[in-house]
């Protein structure tokens, strides 16, 4: 079912608290409820199995999911490879955004790729500007660039108040991944 809205939004979920990607996945669930087409490009998280990937795989006709990163790369041993991986991921994201095939696209952890200069903010802004009119884009990750925050229609900053990891509690399946 094609979207009935006339202009897609740009939404940024940033900050040091949990819930940035989870909020974006909630937007996906809402979009799927309306029969909208959704795309996800994950920049950093790598190939590990997550509950959200397993769940959204149940909607192969409505969800295009591309996990492009090789894992958490801020302790990179090969910066050139990380830049190349982010570039390929954004090439795919640009094509998806411009295609007109998607109502919502999530660029998961793209802010991390920007933070470490794997991509330029100028290129990301140009890709957003060139997106199909109907396409909303959600960008997640800590440390969103000020230029991206200025460009966005909605910006939410998650703030950490308390985190179980600091008490020695490891990430839990179904809650954290």
Domain positions in the chain are 10-167
Q: Cβ distance 14 to 157 under 8 Å? A: yes
pLDDT value of position 100: 97
Q: How confident is the model at residue 84 (pLDDT cuts 50, 70, 90)?
A: very high
pLDDT value of position 172: 78
CATH class, 10-167 region: alpha beta
pLDDT value of position 10: 98
Q: Could you tell me the CA-to-CA distances from 173 to 48, 55, 80, 109 in Å, in that order? A: 12, 13, 32, 20
Q: Cβ distance 138 to 172 under 8 Å? A: no
Return phi, psi of residue 149, to 5°: -60, -45
Least confident of 16-20, 40-44, 48-52: 48-52
Handedness of CA 107, 109, 115, 119 (dihedral sign): negative
Return phi, psi of residue 113, to 5°: -60, -35
User: How far apart are alpha carbons 177 and 172 in whole angstroms?
Assistant: 7
Instruction: Give the DSSP letter string of 100-166.
Output: S--SEEEEETHHHHHHTTSS-HHHHHHHHHTS-TT-EEEEE-SS--HHHHHH-SEEEEE--S--GGG
29, pLDDT greater than 80? yes
- Report pLDDT digits (tens) over 107-141: 999 999 999 999 999 999 999 999 999 999 999 99
173, pLDDT greater than 90? no
Distance of CA 28 to the CA centre of its chain: 11
- Of all residues in the chain, the percent with pLDDT exceeding 90 is 73
């Amino acid at each position: 079912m094609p979207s009935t809205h006339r202009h897609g939004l740009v939404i940024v979920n940033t900050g040091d608290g949990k819930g940035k990607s989870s909020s974006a996945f909630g937007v996906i669930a809402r979009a799927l409820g309306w029969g909208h087409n959704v795309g996800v490009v994950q920049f950093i998280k790598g190939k590990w199995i997550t509950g959200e990937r397993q769940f959204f795989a149940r909607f192969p006709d409505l969800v295009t999911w591309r996990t492009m990163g090789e894992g958490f790369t801020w302790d990179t041993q090969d910066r050139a490879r990380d830049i190349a991986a982010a570039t390929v991921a954004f090439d795919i994201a640009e094509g998806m955004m411009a295609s007109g095939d998607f109502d919502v696209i999530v660029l998961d952890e793209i802010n991390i790729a920007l933070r470490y200069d794997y991509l330029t903010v100028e290129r990301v802004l140009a890709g957003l500007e060139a997106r199909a009119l109907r396409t909303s884009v959600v960008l997640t990750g800590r440390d969103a660039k000020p230029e991206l925050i200025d460009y966005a229609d909605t910006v939410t900053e998650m703030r950490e108040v308390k985190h179980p990891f600091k008490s020695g509690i490891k990430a839990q399946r179904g809650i954290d991944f």
